[in-house]
Structure 1
Amino acid sequence: MVMTESTNATRSSTPVPLRVAWGVLAAFLLLWDVFEVLKHMGWVIPGAFLGAALPFLARLTGLGQAHEPGQLAPRAVPLHNILNRALIPFAIMVVFSFLGDGPEDIAAPFTFGMSWLTSIAFARALGFGLRTPDGWQR
């Protein structure tokens, strides 16, 4: 985390090549998300939207708590950090790949996990990620 004293603005110190790799992964996953939604339709559509929105829902837990610009409300940090771990949606994708009798059985939960991972990958590509306990970008 790099902070400037005059504005308290934060930016990621993640190396550019790593951010580019996250961006490439995000673009690939987004195309795969769209493919799965168009292929299966039905419950896959709300699953994809919920998965994409899930990492941002933690911000709702911080509503009403005072915080500075660029800082996440400290009350929202634990949930934010859990919902922005890439391993969790990846595990959902792997587990549901082996469940069910056919593709239609696993399409919605698999796409939910993939959309969640896509959202995390885009955030990481833009320099956002996990937060410190007081709500600042790591």
Structure 2
Amino acid sequence: MKYQKDGNTVFLVADKGENLFEALYKAQAELGFTGAQVKGIGALKNIEIGFFHCDEKNYDKTIIKEEKELLSLDGNFTFNEGKPFFHLHAVLGNEDYTTSGGHLFDATVAVTLEIYLQLNNLKVERKPNAEIGLNLCEL
């Protein structure tokens, strides 16, 4: 993982074989930011994604081992019960030109990963919400 920073913008590149989340958390630890918007593209494999069922208050998760185009990575950086937390969603391109996606739990870079972080000074905390079944942002 390598990155360049200009003002509040960071451009991060992770290489083949790197874990997406490990790269992001390493950059956050080195840069020390408290808030960020995340956008990215690239290619991933060993992707764990999920779909949240509001009525059941749980995620259905699946692991996609094969390589997929990362058409869109979108999310944010906050703190979840005091710990650094990247909340990411992904849209994946399939070989037949269809798409799939969901909440991103884990992934390995298949070719390259290019991410823009737009940093801010907000320190948003997530706290458990019993009615929803998730840790939600408290403002």
Considering the TM-score relative to the shorter chain, is it more than 0.5?
A: no
Decide which structure has the larger Cα Rg and report it.
1
Greater fraction helix:
1
Which structure has the higher relative contact order (CA within 8 Å, separation 6+)?
Answer: 1
TM-score (norm: length of structure 2)? 0.22
Greater fraction strand:
2
